[in-house]
A and B are shown apart, each in its own frame.
Chain A
Amino acid sequence: MLFSRKVKLKILEANIGLVYLFLYMPIFAVVVFSFNSGEHISVWEGFTFGWYAKLFEDAALWRACRNSLMVAGVATVIATVIGTAAALAIERHRFRFRTVLVRVLYLPIIIPDIVLAIALLTFYVQVRIPLGLITVIIAHAVFNIAYVTIVVRARLQGYDHTLEEAARDLGANEWQTFWRITLPLIAPGIIGGALLAFTLSIDDFVITFFTAGVGYTTLSVHIYSLLKFGITPKINAISTMLLANSIVFILLFLWFQGGTSSSQKQDA
């Protein structure tokens, strides 16, 4: 044997430490330098909140934020409704082309972003849909439907059908059963899927970059142009704000998913 058991364990532990360092050091650096008073993005000069104050005066940034929220909000609503319906159809019904539907449904997240972006761009131009925010919303809904369907299907799979049967035995019609039994039971899955869709939509750059019209800048596209045409320490402050936002969102997502597992335990 090359190494003793003890040495092997040490190597494993060192690897754990290195991976966490690798994952967190860059983010940590961005957060620290967002409080740097110098004009330089990576040379420490002193502490300041100045860059954050500058963010509030930046009209272009806020316009981009508003566009991002609008795109993500509308795309999430569309994707959540369509994706939940699709998940119900796939899990509850047997029909022809079911396997084909499942495969095509997941294809938008299997093919590279840039291919989906180009396909939509050429399509919009060919059918003469002018590029704007609507074209971005449509594009985001395409990949978000897949994610919502995955999350809601997972919820539908681990779920107790006897409750619905009981409701029907007790005289509820199908509509009542759906609204009062099925929907509340799968709600954590739907909310989880919606939060995931919203985050991915806010995060998306490549698809937005190709499908947005000129002048319709979202937050990601705005950050990209800042990175390409003149990096200033303001970027660090924007990044830190976004990071804080992401953390709030993960906590929300986990909270709802946590609700999933505990309520399932109660069901059982």
Chain B
Amino acid sequence: MRRNYHLLILLFPVVFWLICFFLLPLVSVFIYSFIERGTYGGVVWNFTPENYQRLFDGLYLGILWRSVSTALVCTAICLLLGYPFAYYLARYKPKHRNVLLLLVVVPFWTNFLIRTYAWILILRTEGLLNSLLGAVIPNWSPLELLNTPLAVQIGLVYGYLPFMILPLYAALEQLDVSLLEAAQDLGASPRRAFWHVTVPLSLPGILAGSMLVFIPTVGAFLTPDLLGGGKVSYIGNVIERQFKTARDWPFGSALSFMLMGIVLVGTVLYFRALQQNEGQPDSPP
């Protein structure tokens, strides 16, 4: 009985907070997504599925596709840069390894706004990259890099690369080197050993890193807003506009709900893939 009493005290605050300030708000945004927009930016309490129908407009499907594909490209680039990096780090002298890893984390603890702003400094027409290239190459005509999809992509990779490196490092560091030696003793070439031993064994890290990069980038608002200059729309910016300038809260709510749906589907797929991976520990030689 006493134990139950303790448990109640421990659980009450978290359950209260989650219900009041997380679950009820989700219900609230769900309700908003089914009502009508009023004339002066308010709402009219009439049920309508129209906000969801609007999502299938060519315009919004295009924006959605841009957000998802940008997030996928960002994940792929982070994986390409991060995997060799984590691989090398995991095999580095243990003494310096932690310092090198810490150096990956330091920029990631800096305010996200400032990390994004730094790229404005570099990419703008009178920015550092153009000055540098102008100093090296005669008759250099400055590139318009800021406010382009490329700038957004660079900013996203920059913002989320550490999220890829850390889980990859965790997976590769645990890797049992004797398995690689066994593969090579049995006649596998280094390349074959890499693709058939190292990669499958580091799959949990690959999956976790991809999740951690994909989820925040698909709903990113700040990076497209600052580096895309509002010229290219991503789903996060469209949502922001519905609440801040267009004052169409019901439609913005429907967009948010759909974004959450995409992320939750991604999460479920991730756990499915993880379970499958655990289900078959030994991969084909």
Contacts and interface: CB of A to CB of B under 8 A. Distances in A.
Interface of A: 1, 5, 11-13, 15-16, 18-20, 22-27, 29-30, 33, 40-43, 81-83, 85-86, 88-89, 93, 95, 101, 104-105, 107-108, 110-116, 118-123, 126, 138-139, 141-142, 145, 149, 174, 199, 202-203, 205-206, 210, 220, 223-224, 227, 231, 235-236, 239, 242-243, 246-247, 249-250, 254
Interface centre among A20, A23, A82, A139 (most CB of B within 10 A): A23
Contact of B115 (A27, A101, A227): A27
| Interface size grouping (class) on chain B | 35 or more
Looking at chain A's contact residues, the main secondary structure is helix
Contacts of B204: none
A224 B24 contact: no
B189 A138 contact: no
B236 A23 contact: no
B109 A250 contact: yes
A18 B161 CA distance: 13
Tell me which of A25, A110, A114, A242 has the highest count of chain B C-beta atoms within 10 A of its own C-beta: A114
B215 interface: yes
A16 B88 contact: yes
B240 interface: yes
Given A113-B221, A115-B256, A29 B128 contact: yes
Nearest to A119: B25
B131 interface: yes
A23 B21 contact: no
Given A1-B189, A1-B191, A206-B221, 11 more contacts: A27-B115, A42-B122, A42-B124, A95-B7, A111-B264, A118-B239, A123-B21, A123-B24, A141-B17, A203-B112, A247-B109
Contacts of B236: 112, 114
B137 interface: no
